[in-house]
Structure 1
């Protein structure tokens, strides 16, 4: 991969903690800081996107259900064979469970996921004319579909703004002191009051991108983080710039991304197919 194609964090981040005032941060100051972080992330990841391969709302719905408790990479390596055998809800509704289980086995929890996929496909066929509905109230009635999955589908297949609270998103917004909530629905509700609705979907992508590439759960790369000056949790990870850069993942670390078919503006390289490395 050509070095010139890789978009690094903006210049050299100022490696120091955010100022710690003598009194608690006001609500207004927190909102201003949160929006500054979002702007820095937008500059760092202008190509942020959903990291699941899909070509239709149905494919995105299925891929998102499969992504529970596994990586998007493993899902992307598995879905080509799945969609080749079951390209429509009608096809998937008629699937033999044992045959589907064998295909999706690499994603883990394959029996439960098979039950959900066949169940949601039957519901799509029988209640929605074989089409994925574009309303959250309808999506969450489908087997295996909660608010997180519904917001992924709405935001990326229908253009309906939504905040997707996965483990990365929840971890980062708590590190940044945007919320203290642990419950995903409460996190979603609080973050929704900080940002305009038009930002919700892209904010989700940027935060998740940053969590996967820089602000890791166990050892965040604080010394290579573009939002270090705005982060009240600076110092929880590696602060030495050289050591921190070695912790960067995916395109930030010169490695393949998670999608086999990434968007044209993605600066990294595609992920390998299943069994290809």
Structure 2
């Protein structure tokens, strides 16, 4: 894919997006505009299918409304609420630690700076950038497995890991697209551009893609 085709491709993805399943984190951000819920949901979603994440988040947010609720809940009860997400016991520990850090160091408000978010236990660049972009509307490119795979599959970039992907995308992608880029590619990746047997034959951006193993 040529750099000059990126805007055309994003326009097509925007047009097709309503037909696909939007990422659950994006739906929560759109519905609530709450950085706390975006942070919690983003952590829960790692290594977990979107359907499971959605179910667990719905149940969890009936019990937990803010950082103080998360701080006060018993870890064992939190673990039960998180089941069956992947590594739910570890995530319960991370969330309890995060609640303590935010309550102690940020007056119970989720920080809105990358360096502060990265100080929170269990929060890496993917989750931090998702909180910035989806929770606060601050331009940031969240690179998850879909963004890393698809942008390399397009031959838009060539990178070995998500951090390198993020760096290269910030160099070539206009900032006005940073916030929405993740949700567009996650929906696209879950629906059409799958890791195995992508549905190239019905892909709306097929003509711009340089994937060498295109299927009919």
Fold conserved (TM > 0.5)?
A: yes
1:123, distance to aligned residue in structure 2 (A): 0.8
Q: Which moved more, 1:53-62 or 1:217-226?
A: 53-62
Query: CA offset at residue 42 of structure 1?
Result: 2.3
Q: Distance in 1 between matches of 2:19 and 2:167?
A: 26
- Which runs of no fewer than 5 residues in structure 1 stay unpaired? 1-28, 240-277
Hey, what's the Cα distance between the residues in 2 that align with 1:186 and 1:177? 14
Give the 5 Å matches for 1:86-101: 86-101=64-79
Between the two proteins, the alignment pairs up a number of residues equal to 210
* 1:85 aligned residue: 63
Comparing 180-189 with 227-236, greater Cα deviation is found at 227-236
Structure 2 gaps of 5+ residues are: none
Equivalent residue for 2:45, pick from 61, 67, 70? 67
Partner of 1:44: 16
The partner residue of 1:201 within 147, 155, 179 is 179
1:76 and 1:125 map into 2 onto residues whose CA distance is 26
RMSD across aligned positions (CA): 1.8
Q: Is the 8 A contact 1:168 1:208 kept in 2?
A: yes
Give secondary structure in 2 for the equivalent of 1:107: coil
Greater gyration radius: 1
Structure 1 residues 234 and 183 mapped into 2: Cα distance closer, same or farther (>3 Å)? closer
Match among 183, 191, 194 for residue 216 of structure 1? 194
1:115 CA drift (Å) = 0.8
More helix as a share of residues:
2
Q: Distance in 1 between matches of 2:115 and 2:23?
A: 22
TM-score (norm 2): 0.90
